[in-house]
Amino acid sequence: MKDLNYQLMKLCRDNRDGSYSTQANRSRILDLMANQLADLRFRRMQTTSLKPKHIDALVTLWKEQNISTGTMKNRLAALRWWAKKINKSGIIAKDNCAYGIAKRTIVAEESKAQNLNAKTLSNISNPYVRLSLQLQAAFGLRREEAIKFRPGYAIKGDHIELKASWTKGGRARTVPITNERQWALLAEVRKLARGGSLIPPELKYVEQMNRYDYQVRKAGLKNPHGLRHAYAQRRYLELTGCKAPAAGGPAAKSLTSDQRALDKGARETISQELGHCREQISAVYLGR
């Protein structure tokens, strides 16, 4: 293993920011960068050697490789993390536009919402996986958040609180409890978890994640992420009184000024509840 690869691996191991998947993706991206920097003839680099010229060289290479905008943004996020950990945040621009990377226009062409039904749930034999899926549907959680969910920590009055270490990007957040079905579900989760999480005591997270994936495939649930889409569209209806555009509701161009203000507020709320920092991401779930 080359020096830079090893040092970046150690940097990741010593700084476990974010969820398991976030950490794994970051480590993979940084390892790729170390290899690319070596191919670009930047020899004998250390983690502290990172300079603007290295960032510019990587961005130029990615453009030549026709890397997608989304992938470029993910790689720059990993670079910013690296720079921050070596106290050199100032060497990399905060805005991706500085590197000629345009902001993405995100619009849902069709609804990807997926609902849980009794038949699907009956095909999930593991109670931990079944409740994780129900949490995803009821609160718009990601897979890792629903598996790591610890009711003793999360249930706080009229909302649930997600710990940063459970979430993508390490962003803690809260999601409101708005109906009796959610309360009933949380009571079931609390009973099964017995002071722990929705990972059985005898298993590690990775083992339970593999069990989750197997059970979901076996039950024929093609896209569990669609449960988050369904949550977003349900919340939009609750907050605005109208269906979301992706669910057959009115398009933005047909809204009155009052409706536009309501639409904007709902999108901001839903984006926060889903764990996204930009309102524009809501278009993936709701359409425009």
For residues 70 and 156, state if they share a domain: no
For residues 95 and 130, state if they share a domain: no
CB atoms within 10 A of CB 1: 9
The stretch 260-278 carries a mean pLDDT of: 93
pLDDT over 80 (residue 109): no
Q: Is residue 186 part of a domain?
A: yes
Cα–Cα dist 243/65, whole Å: 41
Residues 108, 111, 113, 114: what is their CA dihedral angle, to the nearest 10 degrees? -140
Tokens found for residue 177: 């409890």
For residues 16 and 76, state if they share a domain: yes
CATH of the domain at 202: 3.90.15
CB atoms within 10 A of CB 93: 13
Domain hosting 175: range is: 124-219
Cα–Cα dist 45/232, whole Å: 45
pLDDT in tens, 53-90: 999 999 999 999 988 888 999 999 999 999 999 999 99
- Number of domains comprising the chain: 2
Residue identified by tokens 């453009």 is 63
Domain boundary among 165, 194, 219: 219
Q: What is the pLDDT of residue 229?
A: 95
The stretch 250-259 carries a mean pLDDT of: 89
Q: What is the pLDDT of residue 105?
A: 55
Nearest to 130 by CA among 185, 171, 182, 78: 185
Q: What is the pLDDT of residue 47?
A: 95
Q: Is residue 148 part of a domain?
A: yes
For residues 85 and 143, state if they share a domain: no
For residues 93 and 140, state if they share a domain: no
Q: Is residue 38 part of a domain?
A: yes
Q: What secondary structure, in 3-state letters, does the chain show?
A: CCHHHHHHHHHHHHCCCCCHHHHHHHHHHHHHHHHHHHHCCCCCCCHHHCCHHHHHHHHHHHHHCCCCHHHHHHHHHHHHHHHHHCCCHHHCCCCHHHHCCCCCCCCCCCCCCCCCCHHHHHCCCCHHHHHHHHHHHHHCCCHHHHHHCCHHHHEECCEEEECHHHCHHHCCEEEECCCHHHHHHHHHHHHHHCCCCCCCCCCCHHHHHHHHHHHHHHHCCCCCCHHHHHHHHHHHHHHHCCCCHHHCCCCHHHCCHHHHHHHHHHHHHHHHHHCCCCHHHHHHHHCC
Domain boundary among 200, 219, 238: 219
For residues 82 and 11, state if they share a domain: yes
For residues 86 and 149, state if they share a domain: no
Q: How confident is the model at residue 99 (pLDDT cuts 50, 70, 90)?
A: confident
Q: Is residue 246 part of a domain?
A: no
Cα–Cα dist 80/102, whole Å: 18
Q: Is residue 43 part of a domain?
A: yes
Cα–Cα dist 266/82, whole Å: 35
pLDDT in tens, 187-239: 999 999 999 999 999 999 999 999 999 999 999 988 899 999 999 999 999 99
Nearest to 272 by CA among 140, 145, 94, 157: 140
Tokens found for residue 165: 């270490």
Q: How confident is the model at residue 39 (pLDDT cuts 50, 70, 90)?
A: very high
Predicted TM-score (pTM) of this structure: 0.74
Tell me if 282 sits within 8 A of 267, measured CB to CB: yes
Residues 184, 223, 104, 243: what is their CA dihedral angle, to the nearest 10 degrees? -50
For residues 65 and 152, state if they share a domain: no
What residues form DSSP beta bridges with 161?
174
Domain boundary among 64, 99, 134: 99
Tokens found for residue 26: 């970051």
Percent above pLDDT 90 for the chain: 75
